[in-house]
Amino acid sequence: MILSMYKLDRNDFSSLKITDLYSIHRIVYDLFPKKEGIPREFLFADKGGDWRQRRILILSKESPQIPEYGVLESKKIPETFLQFQNYGFEVVLNPTTREGATKKVLPVKGKENLNAWFKRKAEDAGFCIDEQKFEISKTGVVVFNKDNAECTFNTATFKGTLQVVDKQKFTHSFENGIGRGKGFGFGLLQLVPIN
């Protein structure tokens, strides 16, 4: 796996016409040209920034192309990175559930519901969280236009420490992301090993 940090300055914003989440989606996808019959295998998280610079974190199975604008720094993740038992983590997710009868996708709202929803996601992803060091922030919605249609994503940031309970599931979750909306910057499990 390859971890990249894509840095864009004010001039890059203007040249790339960055206005919303869909703009970020577009410029990240441009770093990985589509190959016939092969799905793109990468995740990204918009780390934000200030009026001078924006940073986008990218995790991919292959190296991204060198961009025309901005600075891209990439490094291979060592094999030992996923060998730890405990990690600090942060992940931006699109908290939703699928309604049984209608199969309609519904947003998860409220701290208690988000807490319970994330615990289920964590279990499916091969880890458990430390309740004392867990927080939910930046809840709300993200709205943008794509192909003349308005797209709305429920969003929440989950942060804390975790313990790996199923290494195979955990590795899969790290490499492939968690939840829905991964093409729009959701689901990248950002980890810092804890000794």
Q: Are strands 86-93 and 105-107 parallel, antiparallel or unpaired?
A: unpaired
Q: In three state form, how does the secondary structure of 46-104 look? A: EEEECCCEEEEEEEECCCCCCCCCCEEEEEECCHHHHHCCEEEEEEEECCEEECCCCCC
Question: From CA 130, how far away is CA 19, in angstroms rounded?
Answer: 37
Q: Tens digit of pLDDT for each residue in 99-126? A: 877 888 899 999 999 999 999 999 999 9
Q: Which residues of the chain have pLDDT under 50?
A: none
Q: Two tokens at 13? A: 């914003």
- What is the Cα 183 distance to its own chain's centre? 9
**Which pLDDT score is estimated for 103?**
81
Domains of the chain: 2-76 (3.30.70.1200), 80-194 (3.30.70.1210)
**Which pLDDT score is estimated for 122?**
97
**Which pLDDT score is estimated for 40?**
78
**Which pLDDT score is estimated for 73?**
97
